[in-house]
Amino acid sequence: MNFDTPLFLQINEFARATPWLHGIVLAYANDGIVLFALLMLAGWWVARRAADPLVMGRAIWAPLGMALALAVNQLFVAEVGEPRPYTSLSGLLVLAHHSHDPSFPSDHAVMAGAVAAGLFGVSRGLGWLATIAAAVMAFARIYIAAHYPHDVAAGLVVGAVISMLGYLALRRILAWLVSLVESTPLRWVLTSAPAASVGRSHALEG
């Protein structure tokens, strides 16, 4: 039994008492990644209107940081090898599709944490929206009995930390690449500003 099994069981009892929520929570737990994709798309749009290579670099990093976090998380998952709650506990209400993958840390939570951390560098508003969405995703994964609370908590932290560290390591390269592309016919993808008004001097700052 894990240290947070009592909390997991309380949430499972809550799920049992709220059958009207099952469809909504299950849909979000499984397909909520679509919302995070839309938030990242909104981040790109905000960065494009900002016409700042640094901001666009952060917007581009959001999905890249998410992919990096998920890749690194596979090492943790394989090393720990924690079984899913429904393989260890009996009498549960299980809404999740049964998976043979280990439970710790949660890939869904890693994804959500990485996107939230990445979007804070683009827009505080989008960052907070993604953070709320990430918290709901974490709860949903427990609600459907796919993960223990510590699985999703660790996933959020792993995702956010890897995204932030990766950006700190690559931010100058990202800004340089954005500035480079802005001098090509593809510049409209990265900025809405007229070519003459786009400042280049600050591209490698920060």
Amino acid at 31: D
Residue with tokens 């960065």: 47
- The tokens of 206 are what? 């920060």
Report pLDDT for 188.
66
The pLDDT value given to residue 53: 84
Residue-wise pLDDT for 34-86, tens only, equals: 999 999 999 999 988 887 888 888 999 999 999 999 999 999 888 887 888 98
Domain spans in the chain, listed from the N-terminal domain onward: 5-82+103-182
Residue 198 has pLDDT above 80, yes or no: no
pTM here is 0.86
Among residues 65, 39, 38, 59, the alpha carbon closest in space to that of 47 is found at: 59
Give the whole-angstrom CA distance, residue 68 versus residue 131.
19
Query: How far is it, in rounded angstroms, from Cα 107 to Cα 113?
Result: 10
Per-residue HEC secondary structure of 106-174 comes to CHHHHHHHHHHHHHHCCCHHHHHHHHHHHHHHHHHHHHCCCCCHHHHHHHHHHHHHHHHHHHHHHHHHH
C-alpha–C-alpha distance, residues 120 and 65, integer Å: 13
Looking at per-residue pLDDT, the higher value among 20 and 76 belongs to: 20
Q: What is the pLDDT of residues 135-191, one digit of tens each?
A: 999 999 999 999 999 999 999 999 999 999 999 999 889 988 888 877 777 766 666
Alpha carbons 58 and 101: distance in angstroms, whole number: 31
Is the pLDDT at 22 greater than 90, yes or no?
yes
Q: What pLDDT is recorded for position 194?
A: 63
Nearest to 28 by CA among 155, 144, 145: 144
Other Cβ atoms closer than 10 A to 189: 13
Angle (CA) 191-177-40 rounded to 5° is: 55
pLDDT at residue 195, as a whole number: 63
The CB-side HSE value for 122 (13 A sphere, CA atoms) comes to: 30
Q: Does 149 sit behind a cis peptide bond, omega within 30 degrees of 0 on the bond before it?
A: no
- Whose CA is closest to 107, among 86, 131, 76? 76
**For residue 204, what pLDDT band results from cuts at 50, 70 and 90?**
very low
